[in-house]
Amino acid sequence: MGHLSSMFNGLARSFSLRKWKSNEDADGREAASAMAKDAKKNESILRSSGFVNVDGSRNFASLFSQRGEKGVNQDCFIVWEGFGCQEDMMFCGIFDGHGPWGHYVAKKVRESMPSSLLCNWQETLVQNSLDPDIDLEADKKHQRFNIWKHSYLKACAAVDQELEHLRKIDSFYSGTTALTIVRQGELIYVANVGDSRAVLGTTAEDGSLVAVQLTVDFKPNLPQEAERIVQCNGRVFCLDDEPGVQRVWLPDAETPGLSMSRAFGDYCVKDFGLISVPEVTQRHVSSRDQFIVLATDGVWDVISNQEAVQIVSSAPNRTKAAKYLVKHAENAWKRKRKGIAMDDISAICLFLHSSVSHQIHPDSPK
């Protein structure tokens, strides 16, 4: 338990570990939810446009969202500094809803994901500490990744199952993507469900800033995604007026026409190849790594990875970096997509090294 004790320190400050070691799942969920409420009360969570930089933290996050031309803004996001009462942890998530109830689905997944992940992470830590076949000291980096991957897989399955049985939200023909990051010290864990994207801005040996894509856009045009859907009797094809845009369809009806192959909700096609299983990866933060951009496809449809990192690096200041990127994307939509309704555009810019300290600061409502 020596290795685990440091991970438990923050949790022990707020909750009895007896709850976490209980066999009752409800106890863990209640404790995680209480932690989220406490963090919100202490202004450690931001769910609106603004910026986050708590005293003593190396992280600096800038957030901004712009409604498109299709109705209500179905994008949302969250940044939680001190995730799970751990001083060295931060959680970031961005969610892109779709369908009639998409904005409700996105907000529900944003609400459920952090607590579910925290609960499953804690349970997995305890289970591994009690398993005599697992040596947590042998390869800390590998073991940490396995713990987070297992926690993410369980959390996403639980969130999707909860959503399906939620009477207040009709997610049969509605859903959301979910791109989330946990930073734990110098390690970053990325989990992606859908076609939002995370891109790292890092300094090359020659001093230039280069973009490194950290996630895969899970769209039905990917061979492995299309193969799974077809094997489950779903269909993948383009409409005549959208050449090159592959979509997911029911076996015997031209609906729902999803442009992504993984999502929460969308239960009309969950039996036909659509899944909510995340791809989980990790990266060690080096001194060359400057920032990570998490953005919905409203950005990536009109801005390249390299353009995005150049725009963020040229922002007048970090606090407005996400807004700077979103406004560039908005202008690009007007130039490149004339006659097409602009999508919602949202971004989180997570700077990985400390700068001038601020407190969490949501933008003032217009």
202-228 tens-digit pLDDT: 999 999 999 999 999 999 999 999 999
What's the whole-model pTM score? Answer: 0.89
* Least confident span in 46-55, 70-79, 110-119, 138-147: 138-147
**Contact between residue 272 and residue 230 where contact means Cβ atoms under 8 Å apart:** no
365, two tokens: 């409502």
Residue 252 burial by Cβ neighbours in a 10 Å radius (0-12, 13-18, 19+): exposed
Which sequence spans correspond to the domains of the chain? 2-218+260-354
Long-range CB pairs of 152-156, under 8 A, 24+ apart, other chains included? 152/117, 152/120, 152/189, 152/191, 152/278, 152/280, 153/277, 153/278, 153/280, 154/120, 154/124, 155/113, 155/116, 155/117, 155/119, 155/120, 156/113, 156/191, 156/193, 156/264, 156/276, 156/277, 156/278
CATH 3.60.40.10 fits 2-218+260-354, yes or no: yes
From residue 28, alpha-carbon distances to 3, 114, 224 in Å are 21, 13, 36
From residue 299, alpha-carbon distances to 144, 232, 248, 256, 257 in Å are 32, 31, 22, 23, 21
151, two tokens: 């926690």
66-117 tens-digit pLDDT: 999 999 999 999 999 999 888 889 999 999 999 999 999 999 999 999 999 9
